[in-house]
């Protein structure tokens, strides 16, 4: 039996699995592969250097799939912000109906997208932010636990508790994000009340992922202990791969008197992080990685991965149901 949830019904997808909107990774080849496999692929707007480049990426994706896909727009804390309105406008002009938003002060962006008839998925790391986004009228809330790659917020609440609290507090459908990389995590998220899951790290280690093969193989060899948090002292925590660069950043942050961003700017350069995915050297720069890397043991196609998640999660649900039947016989 297929897994039918409010998410599958709302988005028109077969499997309630959303691919995370990852910088430098959410490109047409991966997005289309995820959508063709039955999930929801997400293009990362800010990977593209301009709104017009996003337009071309949307068109390329549409050439590769006729299934639903979305666009991620993340609002960054920066002095010179990207053209968020331009990216959103292009997405709407190109007929994209699903947009994932993340970051601070999203109200204007969400209002525009809703006025254009878009389905909005907003990513939150706390219940208070989730309830605020609910008041803004978002359609789905992506509840992002402490285990996630990238920015988990500053409250350090793991997914198990955060999802249970979301089930208590939210009326809007929510999906589980952070720390999920296999069918056990998928089933657990559903049991906790989620309408689906969001996976970033797991989709990085797929055939269609546009990153260097050596990085994928590094992920397979890694464990759940191979990530580290940086920017903790700057109150902008990010979970990344534990390498010589990230260790140096943490050491600088822990110096007496602390550190300013200027002290680590060169080490955490986005250009260096992007180069990791191109040259295959996992030590070259900072790159995002969630602790779900610990359950990644292979590099399947997206079709193989989504199919496996679907069938194995269905089997887990059926086994749990049988436990109830067996108990009734006692």
Q: Do residues 176 and 197 make contact, with C-beta atoms less than 8 angstroms apart?
A: yes
Q: What is the pLDDT of residue 326?
A: 59
Backbone phi and psi for residue 172, each to the nearest 5 degrees, phi listed first: -80, 140
CA dihedral for 148, 154, 159, 160, sign (positive or negative): positive
Residues of the chain with pLDDT under 70: 325-330
Q: What residue has token string 């929801």?
A: 40
Q: Do residues 286 and 249 make contact, with C-beta atoms less than 8 angstroms apart?
A: yes
Q: What is the pLDDT of residue 323?
A: 82
Instruction: Report how far Cα 63 is from the mean position of its chain's Cα atoms.
Output: 24
CA atoms of 324 and 89, how far apart (whole Å):
50
Ranges of each domain in the chain: 6-212, 227-288
Q: Do residues 287 and 273 make contact, with C-beta atoms less than 8 angstroms apart?
A: yes
Q: Which residues contact 217 (CB under 8 A, 6 or more apart)?
A: 299
Backbone phi and psi for residue 14, each to the nearest 5 degrees, phi listed first: -85, -40
Question: Quick one: which H or E segment has residue 313?
Answer: helix 302-329
> How many residues are there in the chain?
330
pLDDT digits (tens, 9 = 90+) for 197-255: 999 999 999 999 999 999 999 999 999 999 999 999 999 999 999 999 999 999 999 99
- The CATH superfamily label for domain 6-212 reads Aldolase class I (3.20.20.70)
User: Per DSSP, which regions of 2-84 are E strands?
Assistant: 17-19, 41-44, 69-75
CA atoms of 77 and 84, how far apart (whole Å):
12
């Amino acid at each position: 039996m297929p897994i039918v949830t409010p998410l599958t019904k709302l988005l028109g997808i077969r499997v309630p699995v959303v691919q995370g909107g990852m910088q430098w990774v959410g490109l047409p080849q991966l997005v289309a592969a995820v959508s063709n496999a039955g999930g929801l692929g997400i293009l990362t707007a800010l990977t593209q250097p301009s709104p017009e480049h996003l337009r071309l990426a949307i068109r390329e994706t549409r050439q590769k799939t006729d299934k639903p896909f979305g666009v991620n727009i993340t609002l960054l804390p920066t002095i010179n912000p990207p053209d968020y309105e331009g990216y959103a406008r292009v997405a709407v002009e190109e007929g994209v109906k699903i947009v994932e938003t993340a970051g601070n002060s999203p109200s204007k962006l969400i209002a525009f997208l809703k006025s254009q008839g878009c389905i909005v998925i907003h990513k939150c790391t706390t219940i208070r932010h989730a309830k605020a986004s609910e008041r803004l009228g978002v359609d789905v809330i992506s509840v992002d636990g402490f285990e996630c790659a990238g920015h988990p917020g500053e409250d350090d609440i793991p997914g198990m508790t955060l999802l249970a609290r979301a089930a208590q507090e939210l009326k809007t459908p929510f999906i589980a994000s952070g720390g999920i990389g296999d069918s056990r995590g998928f089933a657990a998220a559903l049991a906790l009340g989620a309408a689906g899951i969001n996976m970033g790290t797991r989709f990085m280690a797929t055939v269609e992922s546009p990153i260097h093969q050596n990085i994928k193989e590094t992920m397979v060899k890694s464990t759940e202990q191979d990530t580290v948090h940086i920017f903790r002292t700057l109150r902008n925590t990010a979970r990344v791969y534990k390498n010589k660069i990230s260790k140096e950043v943490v050491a600088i942050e822990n110096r007496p008197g602390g550190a300013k961003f200027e002290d680590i700017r060169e080490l955490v350069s986005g250009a260096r992080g992007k180069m990791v995915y191109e040259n295959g050297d996992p030590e070259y720069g900072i790159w995002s990685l969630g602790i779900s890397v610990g359950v990644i043991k292979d590099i399947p196609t997206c079709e193989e991965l989504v199919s496996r998640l679907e069938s194995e999660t269905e089997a887990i649900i059926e086994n749990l149901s049988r436990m109830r039947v067996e108990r009734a016989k006692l």
